[in-house]
Amino acid sequence: MLLRATLTALILLWAGAVLAQGAVAPAAPAVAAAAVDPELEARVLKISAGLRCLVCQNQTIADSNADLAVDLRNQVREMLVRGQSPQQINDYMTARYGDFVLYKPPVRSSTALLWYGPAVLLVLAVLILVWIIRRRTKLPADRFEPDPDGN
């Protein structure tokens, strides 16, 4: 009985410690940023999440802590404070770093394959599937293997 109570207490303690650790560690920077202006920070983060960090290319500048990413986040924040629109900020970034900084590339002739390629492939696949099925429905029954359950 005593053993069980001790064990339960230990488990609870351990779980408490793990939870506390997990909750406190990542929350700290968020608290620091939120202290400034949570609404502005949210907008900075939203725009930053659509911009590629050129130093660490598979991250957005919202995720990255590379020096340049921090500078560019500050730039986004400054421009928002000056009252510029997300579109203006994206234009500012592409004027300097090219379309490559946008995680959502603009639709134009050079990116048409990227945007419409998958849809074209899908349509093509469906057409081929329909063609195969139609051809098979016209085949006589003896061209198929008999069903194992005898139907």
Partner 1 sequence: MKSLRFLIPIALFGVLVWFLFRGLSLNPREVPSPLIGKPAPAFTLPRLDDPQKTMQREDFAGKPWVMNVWASWCAPCREEHPLVIDLARRVKVPVVGLNYKDRPGDARNWLERLGNPYAATLIDFDGKVGIDFGVYGVPETFVIDAQGIVRYKHVGPLTPQVLREKIEPLLKQLGALG
Contact 98, 48 (CB under 8 A): no
Work out whether 142 is an interface residue with partner 1 (CB under 8 A). Answer: no
Contact 70, 59 (CB under 8 A): no
Q: State in angstroms the smallest separation of the CB of 83 from partner 1.
A: 19
Work out whether 96 is an interface residue with partner 1 (CB under 8 A). Answer: yes
* Amino acid residing at 26: P
| β-pair partners for 102 | 51
Residue position matching structure tokens 């003896």: 142
CB closer to partner 1 out of 4 and 138: 138
Work out whether 54 is an interface residue with partner 1 (CB under 8 A). Answer: yes
Work out whether 63 is an interface residue with partner 1 (CB under 8 A). Answer: no
Work out whether 94 is an interface residue with partner 1 (CB under 8 A). Answer: yes
Q: Which stretch binds partner 1 (CB under 8 A): 3-11, 70-78, 80-88, 132-140?
A: 70-78
Q: Which stretch binds partner 1 (CB under 8 A): 18-26, 27-35, 49-57, 109-117?
A: 49-57
* Closest to 101 measured CA to CA, from 89, 113, 117: 89
**Which positions ≥6 away from 90 have C-beta within 8 Å?**
47, 50, 51, 102
Question: Where along the sequence are the contacts to partner 1 (CB under 8 A)?
Answer: 54-55, 57, 67-68, 71-72, 75, 94-100
